[in-house]
Amino acid sequence: MPETQEQWYNRQAIEQLAQHIPFERDAASKSEQIEMLRGLVIQHGRSMDPEMFGFEARNELIRLGLWNRIGPEEHA
């Protein structure tokens, strides 16, 4: 199923933030961006297809412990 425009915008915001965070030098800005990213993932991540994310964004989301919140929740 294709993404809606809103899902695309949300995914782009998450992806761009995730790609930028490793290069942020200011600790306060980095912390703020991580919290912004966390909020976006918590609010919109379940409606996203994990396969749509690029390598760099995926790695950063994994590093931050947020990757498991992307895509539908898996029940064991």
Domain span at 39: 5-68
For residue 6, give the nearest of 53, 52, 56, 48 by alpha carbon.
48
pTM for this entry:
0.89
Confidence of residue 76 (pLDDT cuts 50, 70, 90): low
Is the residue at 74 inside a domain? Answer: no
Q: Which residue has the tokens 């965070």?
A: 21
* Radius of gyration over every alpha carbon of the chain, rounded to an integer in angstroms: 12
Is the residue at 16 inside a domain? Answer: yes
Is the residue at 73 inside a domain? Answer: no
pLDDT tens, residue by residue, 10-68: 999 999 999 999 999 999 999 999 999 999 999 999 999 999 999 999 999 999 999 99
| Domains held by the chain: number | 1
Is the residue at 76 inside a domain? Answer: no
